[in-house]
Amino acid sequence: MAKKGKNKLPSGNSRIQVYDYTDVDGKKHYKSFTAPTKKEAKFLAAQWLAGKAAMAEEDITLYKAVTRYIDAKRGVLSPSTIRGYEAVQRNYIKPYALGRTKLPDMTNTKLQVWISDISAKVGPKSVRNAHGLVSGTLEMFHPDFHIKTTLPAKERPDLYTPSDQDIKTLLQHVEGKELEIAIFLAAFGPLRRGEICALESGDIHGNMVDVNKSMVMGPDKMWHIKPPKTFGSYRQVEFPDFVIERIKGIEGRIVKATPDQITHRFERAVKSTGLPKFRFHDLRHYAASIMHAIGVPDQYILQRGGWATDNVMKTVYRDVIDLEAVRQTKKINKHFTKVSGLRK
């Protein structure tokens, strides 16, 4: 179906846009065809649609279609996302009958049986991730097939947000070590692991830290420095003096460790201190919850943390913020009780 809009370009050429596919986020994508005349542009579009229809009905299995889908996305998605897709294909599609099903033979019953099978082995989040990859693949290579399935209910995440005292205990344990710097940047930024590992001395200007790149693992299983995944991740964060003093004088990369090394060192540090188990990424949860609790506007929290949208932050961190609100409420009520003189 052609997309409505201007067909005549400033150059005088004609452009036709036709629907291509809907991605896993629900966004529709269109293919553009440009030619000297509208008739020629329409012919190019019709030719492409005919080829797409033939490919969609080609006698290939879902597994092969997923491979093509992943290959088509390599240039636009991050290496970590591609690795996630490949893991889903390897663990949840290849071993099951659905993976051997040819596209023209696909039915919602077969999809539902597959969902039930993997739901018995993994959690709802993994099931939804696998379903998203299959859905995107079918949208691209079997567009006339309409998915009507039931997914397992989302689980409420069991989150633990470190407290101020937890952070103090942890920092005392790692004082003087490189991990101390990583914790400073994550808890008081908050910066992500990849952003911390890519940070260089040239990115620091006074107390201002310029976040403009990230360390990610490529298809070759090697670590690479690349631009941030989203536009919102480009930002400048002003750190307190004690953080800047700690990193002053370090040349090149501020933290020499890789993201995986940070994770492993952090896990050992948490275990050694006897603190409740939480992840390095939960330091960002801590930062978000504290900023919210002390009255920092959500828009600034978004900007400082590099979250793409308000929806992302509230979806991912709302439970964390609620937990901090409970702690703050107890503190407030304790103070008011003390002021009233009506102690129990």
What 3 state SS string does the chain have? CECCCCCECCCCCEEEEEEEEECCCCCEEEEEEEECCHHHHHHHHHHHHHHHHHHHCCCCEHHHHHHHHHHHHCCCCCHHHHHHHHHHHHHHHCCCHHHHCEHHHCCHHHHHHHHHHHHCCCCHHHHHHHHHHHHHHHHHHCCCCCCCCCCCCCCCCCCCCCCHHHHHHHHHHCCCCHHHHHHHHHHCCCCCHHHHHHCEHHHEECCEEEECCEEEECCCCCEEEECCCCHHHCEEEECCHHHHHHHCCCCCECCCCCHHHHHHHHHHHHHHHCCCCCCCCHHHHHHHHHHHHCCCCHHHHHHHHCCCCHHHHHHHHHHHHHHHHHHHHHHHHHHHHHHHCCCC
The verdict on residue 208 lying in a domain is yes
Domain assignment present for residue 133? The answer is: yes
pLDDT at 331 over 80: no
Angle at 86 between CA 83 and CA 89, to 5 degrees: 155
Strand partners, 14: 8, 35
* 94: in domain: yes
Query: Do the domain assignments include residue 250?
Result: yes
Q: Are 118 and 226 in the same domain?
A: no
Same domain, 191 and 304: yes
The pLDDT tens digits of the residues spanning 17-40 come to: 888 767 656 778 888 888 888 888
Residue 135 lies in a domain: yes
Same domain (yes/no): 25, 111? no
Residues 78 and 112 in one domain: yes
Number of structural domains (the chain) is 3
> Which tens digits make up the pLDDT trace of 221-271?
889 999 987 788 899 999 999 999 999 999 999 999 999 999 999 999 999
Decide if 147 is inside a domain. no
The token duo for 258 is: 């890789």
Domain containing residue 114: CATH number:
1.10.150
Same domain, 192 and 298: yes
Instruction: Check whether residue 52 and residue 67 sit in a common domain.
Output: no
Residue 307 belongs to a domain: yes
Six-digit token string for 223: 């670590």
| Shared-domain flag, residues 175 and 320 | yes
Based on the fold, state whether residues 79 and 219 are members of the same structural domain. Answer: no
Q: Are residues 283 and 187 in the same domain?
A: yes
- Contact of 167 with 191, CB cutoff 8 Å: no
Residues 76-135: pLDDT tens digits?
Answer: 787 888 989 999 999 999 999 999 999 989 999 999 999 999 999 999 989 999 999 999
Q: Could you tell me if 328 and 220 lie in one domain? A: yes
Note down the domain range covering 26.
14-56
**Are 172 and 51 members of one domain?**
no
Model pTM score: 0.61
Q: Is the Cα dihedral 234, 239, 244, 247 positive or negative?
A: negative
279 & 190 share domain: yes
Per the domain annotation, does 237 fall within a domain? yes
